[in-house]
Amino acid sequence: MQKDTVVFDIIRKELERQRRGIELIASENFTSLQVMQAMGNVMTNKYAEGYPGRRYYGGCEIVDQTEQLAIDRLKAIFGIEYANVQPHSGAQANAAVMLAILQPGDDILGLDLSMGGHLTHGSAVNFSGKLYKPHFYGVGKEDGLVDYNMLEAKAREIKPKLIICGASAYSRDWDYVRIRKVADEVGAFVMADIAHPAGLIAKGLLKSPFDHCHFVTSTTHKTLRGPRGGVIMMKKDFENPFGLKDVKGNLRLMSNLMDMAVFPGTQGGPLEHVIAAKAVAFGEILTPEFLTYQQQVQKNAQAMAKAFTDKGYQIISGGTDNHLMLIDLRNKNISGKKAEQVLEHADITANKNMVPYDDKSAFVTSGVRFGVAAITSRGMKESDMQFVVNAIDTVLMNADDEALHRKVKQEVNEFMTQFVLYPEMG
Ligand code: DSN
């Protein structure tokens, strides 16, 4: 068959876009070449509904090996008893946990989306807000930190079945002990969605949720630097409290309910080619080099936050513990939407983001979110953060000067030639 040059030419353009720009979207990263190579493999041809050793199709003995390897490596990374590597995404992982433990209409309590939370933590436009009854806690207006007093008060008032911690635009660590305490008091499960900081947690650079949260979900493509996908984890398996039994009358363990909630509950055939790439990424996470990488992520984030603060930018909560920061642009007289647009003129990619107590809509926003996981994978160090912040500041403070944006773009493109992306790809 003739090579589809139309599609491959477009893919090539995407490689060139990634190479020449500064990627600051906090949820993105650059996988290793071998992670990508593992993903483009013949396992995409295989149906494997079920789990290793107990599938609904023949011929699964080989894909069983990569899936089992991915499970074993993920368990080793976090020191846990249970891992499910089949969720196609973080949203699918969260959907499966909720399906396993909730009934439609049950109360759930999560961080408000407009305060840094995530769509799947109860947003009205998401399954989580449609199927379940969502309630929210927020962050303090003054300090930008999760308001644990509010979380506790809401938990006591609502008595939710599930408390969700984790966020997509929150730069601080979490008090899992405090959340678990109130959850036990009101009879709630706790789910930590660590999609953003998972890589830092994996290497012990942030607190671990595993001893305190019944369920932990993550994506695999953010700070974990794997292929796009999701996972569900539990530090300890436990007897399900719903009295559900199998056909032989044995009480099912929570791991059984969780596996069933992924397949057949919310997904069909697993993406075994992606699971092979997850296994490769998890192998990389187990190496000492991955610790060095995550340490650099944290150092770069701190250096970037300081450079922004020095220029008068207001970082929500005043700084960062992880790989990202959320900046309130109101004192700089530019909206998040405009900032995202003009930064793109200079090949700097970021996303507009609501800030806590925002007076603008989600389509406009007062904030912008920056993350350093991707530029750290490119090889940038603390000393490079000043260039990045200077370029951003020049564009934002001259938002209507397109000639200047073109000049900054040239400087950005030139700067990025030092950090070669996928040299093997020519
Ligand atoms: N879209 C992801 C993010 O940008 O944080 C969350 O799903």
pLDDT in tens, 300-320: 999 999 999 999 999 999 999
Residue range 161-174: mean pLDDT, rounded: 98
Element (H, E) at 200: helix 198-202
Which of 226, 261, 285 finishes a domain?
Answer: 285
| pLDDT level of residue 352 (50, 70, 90 thresholds) | very high
| pLDDT level of residue 360 (50, 70, 90 thresholds) | very high
The count of domains in the chain is 2
Q: Say whether both 322 and 269 belong to one domain.
A: no
What is the structure's pLDDT at 251? 87
The answer to whether 179 and 165 are in contact (CB under 8 A) is yes
Q: Say whether both 176 and 325 belong to one domain.
A: no
Instruction: Say which of 193, 259, 328, 347 is annotated catalytic.
Output: 193
73 has catalytic annotation: no
Residue among 120, 128, 168 whose CB has most ligand 1 atoms within 8 A, to mutate: 168
Q: Say whether both 187 and 63 belong to one domain.
A: yes
424 has catalytic annotation: no
What is the structure's pLDDT at 248? 85
**Ligand 1 centroid to residue 371 C-alpha, Å:** 11
pLDDT per position as a tens digit, 2-18: 999 999 999 999 999 99
% pLDDT > 70, the chain: 100
The answer to whether 238 and 254 are in contact (CB under 8 A) is yes
What is the structure's pLDDT at 131? 98
Residue 19 lies in a domain: no
Q: Say whether both 62 and 106 belong to one domain.
A: yes
Residue range 37-56: mean pLDDT, rounded: 98
**Ligand 1 centroid to residue 119 C-alpha, Å:** 9
3-state secondary structure at position 233: strand
Token code pair at residue 304: 């970037």
Q: Which residues contact 230 (CB under 8 A, 6 or more apart)?
A: 87, 88, 89, 90, 91, 92, 93, 195, 217, 218, 219, 220
Dihedral, CA of residue 122, residue 272, residue 426 and residue 17, to nearest 10: -20
Residue nearest to ligand 1 atom 5, measured at CA: 168
What is the structure's pLDDT at 225? 98
Q: Say whether both 219 and 194 belong to one domain.
A: yes
Q: Say whether both 52 and 180 belong to one domain.
A: yes
Phi, psi (rounded to 5 degrees) for 55: -110, 160
Judged against a pLDDT cut of 90, whether residue 262 lies above it is answered with yes
3-state secondary structure at position 239: strand
- Domain holding 218, by residue range, is 34-285
**Ligand 1 centroid to residue 423 C-alpha, Å:** 28
Which of 255, 285, 315 finishes a domain?
Answer: 285
Question: Which domain CATH number covers 274?
Answer: 3.40.640.10
What is the structure's pLDDT at 250? 85
Which of 285, 315, 343 finishes a domain?
Answer: 285
Type of residue numbered 401 = D
123 lines ligand 1 (CB under 6 A): no
What is the structure's pLDDT at 246? 80
The answer to whether 108 and 135 are in contact (CB under 8 A) is yes
Angle between helices 148-158 and 176-186 (to 10 degrees): 20
Token code pair at residue 195: 């999609």
Indicate the DSSP class of residue 253: B
Nearest alpha-carbon partner for 118 in 219, 252, 267: 219
Q: What is the mean pLDDT of the chain?
A: 97
Token code pair at residue 54: 């107990």
- Measure the CA angle with vertex 422, ends 23 and 14; round to 5°: 55
Phi, psi (rounded to 5 degrees) for 412: -65, -45
Dihedral, CA of residue 336, residue 338, residue 344 and residue 349, to nearest 10: 0
In the chain, count H helices and then E strands.
15, 15
Atom of ligand 1 nearest to the CA of 90: 7
3-state secondary structure at position 329: coil
171 lines ligand 1 (CB under 6 A): no
| pLDDT level of residue 362 (50, 70, 90 thresholds) | very high
Instruction: For residues 225 and 287, give the distance between their C-alpha atoms in angstroms, rounded to a whole number.
Output: 13
Token code pair at residue 87: 């969720």
376 lines ligand 1 (CB under 6 A): no
Instruction: For residues 71 and 86, give the distance between their C-alpha atoms in angstroms, rounded to a whole number.
Output: 10
Q: Say whether both 398 and 272 belong to one domain.
A: no
Angle between helices 336-345 and 382-396 (to 10 degrees): 110
Q: Say whether both 132 and 202 belong to one domain.
A: yes
Instruction: For residues 357 and 143, give the distance between their C-alpha atoms in angstroms, rounded to a whole number.
Output: 12
Residue range 406-423: mean pLDDT, rounded: 98
Q: Say whether both 193 and 309 belong to one domain.
A: no
Q: Say whether both 246 and 311 belong to one domain.
A: no
Residue nearest to ligand 1 atom 4, measured at CA: 27
Model pTM above 0.85: yes
Task: Count other Cβ atoms within 10 Å, centred on residue 220.
Answer: 33
Q: Which residues contact 184 (CB under 8 A, 6 or more apart)?
A: none
Q: Say whether both 251 and 334 belong to one domain.
A: no
Q: Say whether both 101 and 44 belong to one domain.
A: yes
Alpha helices in 5-101 (DSSP H): 5-20, 33-39, 61-78, 90-101
Count Cβ atoms within 10 A of the Cβ of residue 81 and give its class: 0-12 exposed, 13-18 middle, 19 or more buried.
Answer: middle
The answer to whether 362 and 300 are in contact (CB under 8 A) is no
Residue nearest to ligand 1 atom 3, measured at CA: 27
Nearest alpha-carbon partner for 165 in 129, 202, 125, 112: 112
Judged against a pLDDT cut of 90, whether residue 244 lies above it is answered with no
Residue range 134-148: mean pLDDT, rounded: 98
Judged against a pLDDT cut of 90, whether residue 245 lies above it is answered with no
Residue nearest to ligand 1 atom 6, measured at CA: 168
Residue 17 lies in a domain: no
Indicate the DSSP class of residue 355: -
Dihedral, CA of residue 385, residue 302, residue 28 and residue 200, to nearest 10: 140
What is the structure's pLDDT at 335? 98
Judged against a pLDDT cut of 90, whether residue 330 lies above it is answered with yes
What is the structure's pLDDT at 216? 98
The answer to whether 385 and 22 are in contact (CB under 8 A) is no
pLDDT per position as a tens digit, 57-116: 999 999 999 999 999 999 999 999 999 999 999 999 999 999 999 999 999 999 999 999
Judged against a pLDDT cut of 90, whether residue 247 lies above it is answered with no
**Residue in the block written with tokens 């012990």:** 204
223 lines ligand 1 (CB under 6 A): no
49 has catalytic annotation: yes
**Residue in the block written with tokens 């075994």:** 272
Judged against a pLDDT cut of 90, whether residue 224 lies above it is answered with yes
